[in-house]
Amino acid sequence: MPDGIRKYFMHVYNYFFYIAYASYLPFLSYWFAEDGLSAQQIGFIFSIGPLVGFLMQPVWGMLIDYYGIAKYVLIGSMGITPWVMLMYQFADHNFALYVAISILLAVFASATLPVVDAITVRHAKKNALGYGAIRVVGSLSFGLSVTFFGILYDKYGLSLLFPAYIGTMLVMCLLSFFLDTNQREEAEKHNLAIRRSGMFKEMLPLLKERSFLLFLIPVFVAAIGPQLNNAFYSVYISHFGGEASGKIGILYTISSVAEIPVFLLSGYIISKLGYVRTLTLVSLAGALRWYVLSIEPPFEILMLNQILSGVTYALFLATGINYAYDNSPAHTKTTAHSLFIVVYTNIAGIVASNIGGFVIEAGGYRLLFGGAAALSVLGAVGFAMLGRLRTEKLHNSTV
């Protein structure tokens, strides 16, 4: 592959990857609701992915660090997941079968997004590019396609999301063959040290590092809101009535478009504010977003609120990923990134999905998103305390 094409290949890769995500991710919980599942059942199913991912994502990350097989992991996972998801259509309202399918799906799906992000970060730093400048292409493609998919599903039926996902992931499998990860050479440099200590011990230095552990705690607290949103937002929108798929598509398009300037400017923002201050302010902005959802406003306000959604999601993700990358040893970059994703997506997702269904049944969406707002404020407090700890550590080291 020519150097010019290789340098910008991850832009193309992210573009099509997020089209694949747009084909199903915003609509799946709505499909479950239309298929007759209760809020508690939907929450339980959505908690399976994070639970399995909690176990599998660090394993995928360490295997990639150890063997340098990121390309082959992606090809395998992307080739299998859409066909496993198709099995939902044949579950015939058997909840136990839904659960079994979800477990199998999560094993393979847990290897996609964290690995794509890790490869993107590595590629960006190697080619003097910004992670945000690459990731913004994914936001653009997601935003351009999700409204199209919503209109398509309103017209031809929501079950069309399954063949749409199969087709888009087939494209991703083909593109994955052209990935130039260059990880095998790096893995070989560190294999001796890893063999001496064992792969799983690669995680221990990260967890023993106090500042990294104290970073993960407020990440978990602040992530409850986004994970509640992932599990129940489509169902939340559907209870307003009308053509729900189209509304869902429009709302996700707005948030995706709002992400674009944030990803482009994320490097500049982080350099000016620093990691900790950025995460603190983003958590406070997230609290405002959840409060707006808790009052169940009209659709016009929901559209405006999606701008805040895009801004907070993009800046939190870009800051968290780069913090994990820059605060971990050279041979545990993928492991550190996977730990961040595990906490942000998996552990928070397990708690949010399981509790969320019960909260909706007990107090509705007002209680659900009001609680998320309070937790976001607590997350901001945690990041502020981390900032004070880092400042004191720096001061003590210079005295």
Query: pLDDT by residue (tens digit) across 272-316?
Result: 998 889 999 999 999 999 999 999 999 999 999 999 999 999 899
Q: Which class does domain 3-398 fall in?
A: mainly alpha
Q: Which residue has the higher pLDDT, 187 or 135?
A: 135
Give the whole-number percent of the chain exceeding pLDDT 90. Answer: 52
The residue ranges of every structural domain in the chain are 3-398
Query: What pLDDT, on a 0 to 100 scale, did the predictor assign at position 339?
Result: 82
Are the C-beta atoms of residues 278 and 270 closer than 8 Å to each other?
yes
Instruction: List Cβ<8 Å contacts ≥24 apart for 153-157.
Output: 153/27, 153/245, 154/243, 154/244, 154/245, 154/246
Across all residues in the chain, what is the average pLDDT? 85
Query: pLDDT by residue (tens digit) across 6-51?
Result: 888 999 999 999 999 999 999 999 999 999 999 999 999 999 988 8
Task: Count how many Cα atoms sit within 13 Å of the Cα of residue 260 in the half-sphere of its side chain.
Answer: 14
Is residue 154 predicted with pLDDT exceeding 90? yes
Mean pLDDT of 177-203: 53
pTM of the model: 0.81
Query: pLDDT by residue (tens digit) across 62-79?
Result: 777 777 788 888 999 999
Are the C-beta atoms of residues 246 and 148 closer than 8 Å to each other?
no
- Contacts with 233 (C-beta within 8 Å, 6 or more apart), sequence order: 26, 29
